[in-house]
Chains A and B, each alone.
Chain A
Amino acid sequence: MTESAVIETNDLSKSYGGVRAVCGLNLSVPPSCITAFLGLNGAGKSTTVKMLLGMIEPSSGEGRVLGSPIGDPAQSVALRRRVAYVSENKRLYDYMTVEQIIRFTRSFYPDWRAEVERDFLHAYELPPDRKIKKLSKGMRTKLALLLAFARRPELLILDEPSEGLDPVGIEQLLESLVSRCAEGTSIFFSSHQIPEVERIADHICMLDKGRLVIDAAMDDLRQSYRQIDLVFPSVPDEREFRMAGVESIRTKGHQMRVFASRNAETVMERARSFYPSSVEVSPVGLRDIFLETIKEN
């Protein structure tokens, strides 16, 4: 695979009537790494994924997945051989048994990995002769993951893959994602489980109200985001701290909390000019970055 982005969008937008679900999205997902796609419910994540897979037509803009334009139905079929997708609801055909749907899906992919199928069936204890309509939500999720992982896709797109899984299942899933990524598969997944994302993601894309608000490497986020707690004998005006990289400022009594996405050093220098009695700089976790970013937007 080339080093160009596996998913690229240029001003991609989707409106439903008067409601803009996705607005001018410029996404660039790097290859051979795990990219998390974060956002609140209704932020536009699933709509974006459906546009990428050709299930819905963008209102404007364009996109490319593995180099193929997303709006071209002829290329879309070829593209779907190279991309595995697990949808948000993990619904499969209720009238099939586990064995039947595996046989059905396998027929579309000549490079199907029988050993992965066996391992997943064993690890997830999926009963081959049980009808899908009789499976629990967790079992259905496991089956959907089996059907995606037993292939050899270049790109795995997963919408809330851990939803419905028990802690053991989640652990198995995270291990599988990391090992697939190590084999060279690019992974793009949406999740509300921030601790899971923080553990495995190399790159973060965050969507809010259809707009991309963060697109950065996880390491860069860890290094650049800082929470600066200041205590002043006399609190300066918040406007003194409004500068590039400052995402939010909160003042309470003599205390001020500055949340910075970059330029923490500059903020501290400015703070020192007001003679603070205490300056405390701490790294910020992904959960706080998510909450602060969403709140600010």
Chain B
Amino acid sequence: MLWYKAWLETRPRFLICLIGITALCSFAVYHGDHQALSYTGADYYRYVLLSGHAMLCESWVLAVTLLMMGGLLREKVAGASSFTLALPVSRRRLMAVRIGVGLLQAFALAIVPWSVMFFIGSVAGKTHSITQAAFCLALLLGGGLLFFALALLISSLVEGEYTAPVVSFGIVIAIAVLFSDRALRVYSPLAFITGFAYLDRHTWLLTGPVPWLHLATYLLLAAALTAVSVKVIEWRQF
């Protein structure tokens, strides 16, 4: 039933984000043709799908940051943490369920909009390669989990219903600004998930092998931040 609680807690935010992102990306794919055609000679559907993916990446990072705001610290502010902590459940399990539900939602927020974009492209006669879509998703979910873990850590450290989201969004913006410099762009997690580093500007396709090493590095970082978050909650006094 902890899954049920975590789902009820995040359901409105999740559904709003899912519908919003899907609608936004679908709109970009369906109506972006004319804009794309006007200034690029590339296969416009690829351009559009990649634009859709870039939009998805930005919205996904913001949505996941918003979704991970919650948990025991937010309940402490709302006054409900005493009820949760009196349940016969360890804090580690509470965190595990929260992370599990968050991961499922994060995956859904990436896979559903991509599937809809793919479907709309196909219906409009703009068939896209499934391997390209899988490449984009692998980059988004592999690198994006760093933002997921970052939001989880901040929600475990920073008290206040509005303080934690403000700090989290601030850090996302800071990362975007800090790594926008050309010299640092190669390390940018945002540049990584959008896939621009692997984009062939002539074919408008993601090229080369899947960057497993980079993916593994981001996943390890995310795992480390998640482990720290769990420890923080276990140590924290309520």
Contact = CB atoms under 8 A, between A and B. Distances in A.
Nearest to A49: B82
Interface of A: 50, 53-57, 73, 76-78, 80-81, 83-85, 87-89, 91-96, 100, 103-105, 107-109, 144
B162 interface: no
A57 B237 contact: yes
A91 B90 contact: no
Contacts of A109: 88
B121 to A, nearest CB: 37
Contact of A92 (B8, B11, B80, B234): B80
Contacts of B234: 73
Nearest to A89: B79
Contacts of B8: 93, 95-96, 100
Contacts of B91: 73
Nearest to A57: B237
B105 to A, nearest CB: 15
A55 B82 contact: yes
Interface string B214-238: 0000000000000000000010011
A50 B4 CA distance: 26
B87 interface: yes
B183 interface: no
Contacts of B81: 55
Contact of A91 (B5, B12, B80, B88): B80
Interface in B33-52: none
Interface residues of B, number: 23
Nearest to B4: A104
A254 to B, nearest CB: 54
Given A55-B237, A85-B82, A93 B87 contact: no
B130 interface: no
Interface of B: 1, 4-5, 8-9, 11-12, 78-83, 85-91, 234, 237-238
B84 to A, nearest CB: 8
A296 B149 CA distance: 54
Given A55-B237, A108-B88, 17 more contacts: A50-B238, A53-B86, A55-B82, A55-B85, A56-B237, A57-B237, A76-B90, A77-B88, A78-B88, A81-B88, A84-B86, A89-B79, A89-B82, A92-B83, A107-B1, A109-B88, A144-B83
9 contacts: A53-B85, A55-B82, A57-B237, A77-B88, A78-B88, A91-B83, A92-B83, A93-B9, A104-B5
Contacts of B87: 80, 105, 108
A3 B82 CA distance: 29
Contacts of A83: 86
Contact of B238 (A56, A78, A95): A56
Nearest to A88: B82
B86 A85 contact: yes
B4 A80 contact: no
Contact of A87 (B4, B12, B83, B90): B83
B1 A87 contact: no
Contacts of A93: 5, 8-9, 80, 83
Contact of B78 (A55, A81, A91): A91
Contacts of B4: 104
A13 to B, nearest CB: 14
